Every structure is written in structure tokens, then in C-alpha cells.
Structure 1
Amino acid sequence: MAPNTFKLPDLGEGLTESEVLNWKIQVGEHVTLNQIIAEVETAKAVVELPSPFAGIVQKLHASAGEVVPVGGPLVTFGDEAPGAESDTPDADQDGSRTPTLVGYGAPATSGKRPSRRSRPVRNEPLAQEPAASTSQGTTQQAQSTDAGARRTVTRSTPPVRKLARDHGIEISAVAGTGADGAVLRSDIEALIGLPEQTGSQPVAATAVLAGDRRVKISAVRRATAKAMVESAFTAPHATEFLTVDLTESMKLVEKLRKHPLLRDVKLNITTLTSLIVTRLLGTYRALNSRWDEANGEIIEFGSVHLGMAVASDRGLLVPVVKDAQSKSLRDLAEELTQIIELGRAGKLSPAQLSGGTFSITNVGVFGVDAGTPILPPGQSGILALGQVKRRPWEFEDQVALRHTSTLALSFDHRVVDGKEASEFLAGLGAVLEDPGMINIFI
């Protein structure tokens, strides 16, 4: 068959480029249909690319760390080894079928299910197991060598690989301490002299400044910067603040955690606030809308697709819970927990990072009292939660220590009037101070 060149597909949401994180294949290797050939980082997620062709790798058109535009060449495949059966016809040669999306490949003709081949690791010593007896030594040595030759690429998560890249560490040379030899964050931190983070307790910094350092702008950082500049200079932001007494809400959260139906669910004040917000947005719809300049309209969304800001090693991500207004407390808590964990692990798909209509960011987890959040592009409202802290507070005509927090609501003043924003924020505060008040505001 004639050579086929696999070009970087549009991975969704109109992304224009991706960075090659690492290759799973090498020149000269036989690749089967749908075998994972590379990991690429888009502005929203780390994505595994399956091969739409079967054949011998003739050329890799980009190196790890190189940014490739959508439509740019990635891999060229040539004729298979003599006598090998092709897993795919040459349908693309006549222009009738060209791969454009992840997972969209040429149809298999053999009827066999595609399988992944083990990929050898270069520059890695082969493990030799001692022979159990003289008579079995030659056989065991051959088996050991064969096992070493089939060893797959080093296992680790995208954030760990990024940390290694940022510090010039070849991850394939690191002895992983995780399951099946997986390289963990602690393994990389041990090599670069960073203190290992345990739990949520802060660790005293021991690093010493040693001159300037140049850090490459990642796809996520570049996309975040572009979005923030676009939002800040397109939508006229306004922000209102309200400090509220969360004591009753904190008691409710503790009570809910002990309920038999919720004991296995992760609940916190952010979960409860998210639930209240999704219900209030049904009344204050301007905060769940978008300014459509091109069509001269304001689009008031019929569903609340709730974005939750997550700090990850790749930068700030805002995964989205779709149709959050119709979810129970349990369902909402489970989905929030899932997307936050996936975000921190760098495993969110582009679809999970798009389509938000209102967002929440919890700056309180960093010990911050308040902030002025910038609107995600296309949204008219974002709420920031400050840290929950016991402070002297007027309560029943006396001064008492109460759990308080400062809420900050930023909104697009083209869409949302100050009156509606103030009523929403005051309503949210009233319900958080007395959760039984929610029926008054929805």
C-alpha cells in the first residue's frame, strides 16, 4: 500500500493545536489499527491518540514537546512487513475517507479484533533472573531476556510526566515505587529535592533561589491566559461581596455526612453551596445566560451546567457538571468529586471541560478570605467562596464565635443588572445562614 500520513485531528471544541507529550511508538515499529500511538496535550485535556492506520512507522513528524497545528502531519505509515495481513484498506487513497477525530479510523477487513503490541523501552537494561538450576539456566535466561524486550513504556500519570519534563528528568530512567513500577510524584520530587506533600498540611519550603528560570508556556496556560484577557476586556465585570454566617450550614453538612444514605459520599460546604446555587439560578436566570453579540440576543440557558474551578499541575481547569439543577445532593456530590479528582489527575476529556453556564471557585481552600474572580468566556456569573473561619459575630444580640465566609460574585454587567446580582447574592447568603429558607427564593 502507498504511505499514509496521519494528521492531527480536531480533538473537539474548535481547538487549533496540541502539544505532543510523548510517543508510544518508534520508527520501524509495526502498529495495529487503533493502537495508542501518542499522548497530546490540548488547551483542555491530555488525550491519547489511537492510530487510524495499520503499518510500519516510517517517520514521526514531531518531537515530544513540539506543538502541532490541527491538520499538521504526525506519523507516516508505510508497507507492512512481508506476509503481514493488513488491518485496513486503502480507502483513504481515493479521498473517500480521511481520519478526522480520535477513534475514527479505517475499517478493519480481517474481521479480527485489533490488539495492542507491547512496546520496547530504549536505553533500559534488561532484567536477568537467576537460574533455578544449571539445567534450566539457559531457558530461564532466554525467557527473562524476552520479557525484558517486551517491557512497555514507563507507567505514570500526565502530571507526573510534566513535572519530570519541567525539571529535565528522563522518566523512563526513574525507578517507580508505585504499583507495577509506576512512577509517582514522590519519586520525581525525591530526585529534584522538593518536599513531599502529605495530606493537606502545608510543608515548609526548602528551595533556594538560584538564578532565573525559563518555563515553557503550556497549552493550558496559554489557553487560560487568552480566555482571561478576552473575558476581562470584553465583558464589563462587576463584583459584589457578602460575608455570611455559615454556622447552621456547617451543622447541616455534618448531619448529612452521618445520614445512612450519604455516608459514602464526600460532602462539604462547597457541595451544599453548589446545590443552592443551581436552584437559585432558576429564579435569577440572567446569571445563567450569555451575551450573543453576533445575533443581538441574550441567551438564557434552560439548564445549569455548573463549572467548578480546579487547580491542577497543568494549570487552572474548570470541569463542568451538566444539568446540575436537576441532580440530587448525592448525585451532585458524586459528580463534583469525580471531576475534581479527574482534573487533578489530568484525565479530563475536552467534553468535560466545555459548555459551562455558571461557575464556582473555592479560593478558601488556600486560606484566602476573598477574591475577584474573572468570568469564564461566554458566562455571565461566577461565584468565589472564601475560607470558612471562626470570627466574632453578632448573634442573637450578643457577640459569639461563628463560622463565617465571604462570598464574591462577579457578573457581566451587560447582561446582569446590579439589582438582580444583589438579590441573588443576598438570597444565597440568607439560605446559607438558614438552609430552611431555600423555599422562599426558588
Structure 2
Amino acid sequence: MTTEVRSLREFRMPDVGEGLTEAEILSWYVKPGDTVTDGQVVCEVETAKAAVELPIPFNGVVEQLFFPEGATVDVGTVIISVAVAGEAGAAAPAVAAAPAAPAPALAPAPAEAEPERREVLVGYGPRTGGSQRRARRTTTTTVIAPAPVPVPAVVVPVSVPVPVPVVPEQPSGDRPLAKPPVRKLAKDLGIDLRAVTPTGPDGVITREDVHAHASAAAAVAAAAEAPAPVAAAEPVSVSGSGDVRVPIKGVRKATAQAMVSSAFTAPHVTEFVQVDVTRTMRFVRRLKESGELGRDIRVSPLLLVAKALLTAIKRHPEINAQWDEAAQEIVIKGQVNLGIAAATPRGLIVPNIKDAGAKTLSGLAAALGELIDTARQGKTSPADMQGGTVTITNVGVFGVDTGTPILNPGEAAILAFGAVRELPWVHKGKVVPRQVTTLALSFDHRLVDGELGSRVLADVAALLERPKRLITWG
């Protein structure tokens, strides 16, 4: 006779934003007593970068919700426990009188004995004696906590695997190491094993790895599907005198902390220049009318400002740098990841175009259009906001002439593009109306001295005055 043993499993707050330390629980989709299945979304959380929905990586019945809606929880903290049913006849210790076919003590273990099993993990009781034959094949998941979104860094496993006499299926070519049950699980979930970060011995992909990857991927996908006006849902309280208090959290909290850190860490210098962009505005109209960059490509003055800045950086690569405090070194970056500051309902975000300096004008236009559309829809992923090296902020869209922008933390420079206005200007010895804008370049004076900053800003201005040179330099 067999019995069913129910055990508790804990689901911890994952890191869905590449290094974030906390998240706020926006809403619960389940309550104690509800039945949940592997992959079911149980709650929505907001990090400093995105609002995401979290799927549970196992089946069971909700036992307890550890935090209410609105609570801010550190990454790695248990947020929900689930009662999980063990395998019949497998969860309890072996009974001496139970009939079982004898098996040699040194018999090779079958393929189903997976490396993620432990003697005292959930669903398995401690052994009472020597080796014993398993009753039948089981695929019980032993996920302890979902891993963060895979990034190109060293991943430390949650638990230390113990040696087991199992040889995983050997890969052919670039096929990743995994056993057949794990491959089937990945296939059922629609996951490419080559994208999964392995944590098992010798680079073996375990069921935990597959579930963790599925959980992280679902969280990012949920962030992309979330509606933009998240900020509208933030609660406010009104005092008797009519004051309104707005809680600072999520993107706004992260922005505030980053700007304070940047302002009081990097010595800022800002320089300004007025530029006659009449030819640039004509060039923009010509590109729009001719469609030479592509019929579906959006062309704007910001595109040519971005191209001018990237061209200036190509001539003066020292400005595309970072300060390494620990090593006391200046690190000149090998590629330009161009950030574009975007105001969204959740606050200011700065997604970036990876390796923007290597793109043609048409390629840059396509990437810029996609970045702006994604940001406006609230679908920017955390990965798109990592690794920026220099930023443009377009304050001109608000009718502002210019400003003194604060550096994105870790970056050496940020360019503010002001409003384009028709002003009286001396052109060819005469005062005539011309299209004029003001550019402001802030830079970290530890990395960039006044000469370098001035040369870069002057180059950007000269290129915008005669934009056809962008084609030559680009």
C-alpha cells in the first residue's frame, strides 16, 4: 500500500532585471488554498526597470502568501509556499517488508536518476540503510528557486550537487549536455536548450535550469505585454490641507537614486553651443520625401543628431569611456551603446542601441525607431537598458531650448538636443532667418578634460551645420 506525502516548496523572488535587488508586489493572482500548475502566473511585481508577471515552476496547492500587495521584497526572499504532492511510494522511507525484486548493490543507476535529486530534498525521505532500488521512474522537479535571467557571467548554483553514477547523453556537435527527460521537458515548454545556462556537474543542464529559464523568459515576455500606464495605478494619499503624496518606487525610485549617485560621484562639466541646423532640417525633409533610407523608416532631426554624435565619437573615441574606481583606470569602451532618454508613464528610462557606432544611417534609423516605439508602448526589456556608454536626451520635443543634463551612472558623456527655432542669424554676411538649435554636452571631468569635451561638441555642431558630411564620415 502506498501513501501520498505532501511537502512544502518555497518560491523566492527572482532577479528579473540583471542585478536588481528588490521588487514591489503589485498584485496577487492566487490565494491560499488555490491549486497552481507549473508555469501558471501567480503574481505581478514591479522592479526598477519593468512590471513583470511571475510564473510558479511547480504544481501544488498554495499554502501561504508571505507578503501583501504593495510590499517591497528583496530578491531571494520567499514570497509564496506551495504544498506539493510527492510520488506515491517514493516520498516515504522504504519499508523493510515491501516486496521488491533484489538488485545488486553496485548495479548501475538507471538514466532517470537525475543529478538534481538529494537525499533529503522535498519529495524524498532520508535513507534508512544502504542502497535501494527505486520503485519506478519519476520526474519529480526539485526546483529550489528560479535562477536570474541568463547573462554572460558565472552562475552560482543554488545547491551543491552530489556525485551520482549517471552519465548524461553526450552531445553531438554543439548540442548541449542534458538527459532525455530534461530534453523532453524543454521541448514541451518550447525552450531551446542552447539558450539555457547549465548549473549541473560538467555543464549538464538540469530540470531546475530549464524551469528557471522558463520562469525568467515568461517574466520578460510578460513585461513586454504589460500596458504602459503603470504609473497611473500608484496609490496617492491626500492630506487635509490638500497636499498630495506620491510614493517613490519602481523606475522613479531607481532614477532618483541613480541621479543622486551620479551628481555627487562624477564631477560634471557642461558646455553649450548654438548651431545653424537649416541644412540639417532640409536634409531630413529630403530623406523623408525620397524614402532612400526605406519606405517604413522614420526620419527625424534626432536621427542626424545621433549620427553626428556617433561620428564625433569615432574621431574622438576617448570620450566613450568609463571610470574604474577599484583599479583607478579609465576604460575606453570598444563599442558605442547609444542611450536615448525616453519619458514613459512609469518614469524616465534610457534604453540603448547596441553597437550603434557600427550601423549605417539607415540601420541607425531603423534601430532608433524601434527603440522609441518600444519605450512608448512600455515594452522595453531590462536587457535593453543595460550597458549604455553615452546618451542623448531630446529636450527639444518639449519646446525647451537646452539644459544641463546629468550623466547616466557609469557613462562619460550625455548630449542634450534643444528645440529647433527660427532665429535671426548672420549667414553669408547678412542677417537672415535660420533654423537654430542649442546643444549641451555634459561630461565626467575625471575622464574627459575641457579640450576633449570641446572638440567633440564642436564636431557635432559642424556636422549638423553641413550634414552631408555625415554620409562621408558614416
Compare CA radii of gyration and give the structure with the larger one: 2
SS across alignment from 1:280: helix
Residue deviations 1:298-319, cap 9 Å, x none? 0000100011100011111000
| Aligned residue number for residue 282 of structure 2 | 251
CA distance, structure 2, for counterparts of residue 8 and residue 393 of structure 1: 59
Provide closer, same or farther for how the CA distance between residues 114 and 413 of structure 1 changes in structure 2, counting only shifts above 3 A.
Answer: closer
Identity %: 43
Residue deviations 1:384-416, cap 9 Å, x none? 000111111111111111111100000011111
CA distance, structure 1, for counterparts of residue 355 and residue 469 of structure 2: 23
- Which amino acid in the other structure matches residue 73 of structure 1? V
Whether 1:364 and 2:391 are equivalent positions in the alignment is no
SS across alignment from 1:430: helix
Which is further off, 37-46 or 95-104?
95-104
Provide closer, same or farther for how the CA distance between residues 36 and 75 of structure 1 changes in structure 2, counting only shifts above 3 A.
Answer: same
Residue deviations 1:203-233, cap 9 Å, x none? xxxxxx9710111112211111111111111
Map 1:260-275 to 2 at 5 A. 260=291, 261-275=293-307
Provide closer, same or farther for how the CA distance between residues 162 and 233 of structure 1 changes in structure 2, counting only shifts above 3 A.
Answer: closer
Whether 1:48 and 2:73 are equivalent positions in the alignment is no
Paired residues of 2:335 and 2:357 also in contact (CA < 8 A): yes
| Aligned residue number for residue 84 of structure 2 | 79
Paired residues of 1:430 and 1:437 also in contact (CA < 8 A): no
Map 1:20-419 to 2 at 5 A. 20-79=25-84, 91=117, 94=121, 97-101=143-147, 113=188, 157-166=226-235, 211-260=242-291, 261-419=293-451
CA distance, structure 2, for counterparts of residue 363 and residue 40 of structure 1: 31
Which is further off, 258-267 or 62-71?
258-267
CA distance, structure 2, for counterparts of residue 226 and residue 70 of structure 1: 18
Residue deviations 1:94-127, cap 9 Å, x none? 39753233579x9879969469xxxxxxxxxxxx
SS across alignment from 1:216: coil
Q: Which runs of 5+ in 1 are unaligned?
A: 84-88, 116-155, 169-208
Paired residues of 2:17 and 2:47 also in contact (CA < 8 A): no
CA distance, structure 1, for counterparts of residue 256 and residue 455 of structure 2: 31
Paired residues of 2:18 and 2:148 also in contact (CA < 8 A): no
| Aligned residue number for residue 423 of structure 1 | 455
Residue deviations 1:329-383, cap 9 Å, x none? 2222222222222223322221111100000000111110010000111110000
Paired residues of 1:34 and 1:103 also in contact (CA < 8 A): no
Which is further off, 240-249 or 47-56?
47-56
Provide closer, same or farther for how the CA distance between residues 46 and 335 of structure 1 changes in structure 2, counting only shifts above 3 A.
Answer: farther
CA distance, structure 1, for counterparts of residue 259 and residue 236 of structure 2: 28
Paired residues of 1:34 and 1:51 also in contact (CA < 8 A): yes
Paired residues of 2:230 and 2:346 also in contact (CA < 8 A): no
Provide closer, same or farther for how the CA distance between residues 303 and 34 of structure 1 changes in structure 2, counting only shifts above 3 A.
Answer: same
Report how far residue 441 of structure 1 moved. 6.9
Which is further off, 33-42 or 232-241?
33-42
SS across alignment from 2:334: coil
Provide closer, same or farther for how the CA distance between residues 110 and 263 of structure 1 changes in structure 2, counting only shifts above 3 A.
Answer: closer
CA distance, structure 2, for counterparts of residue 353 and residue 250 of structure 1: 30
Q: Which runs of 5+ in 2 are unaligned?
A: 1-5, 89-113, 123-141, 151-157, 159-180, 191-224
Aligned residues, how many? 357
- Which amino acid in the other structure matches residue 344 of structure 1? R
SS across alignment from 2:403: coil
Provide the TM-score with structure 2 as the length reference: 0.69
CA distance, structure 1, for counterparts of residue 43 and residue 281 of structure 2: 46
Alpha-carbon RMSD: 3.0
CA distance, structure 1, for counterparts of residue 272 and residue 336 of structure 2: 23
SS across alignment from 1:19: strand
Paired residues of 2:230 and 2:345 also in contact (CA < 8 A): no
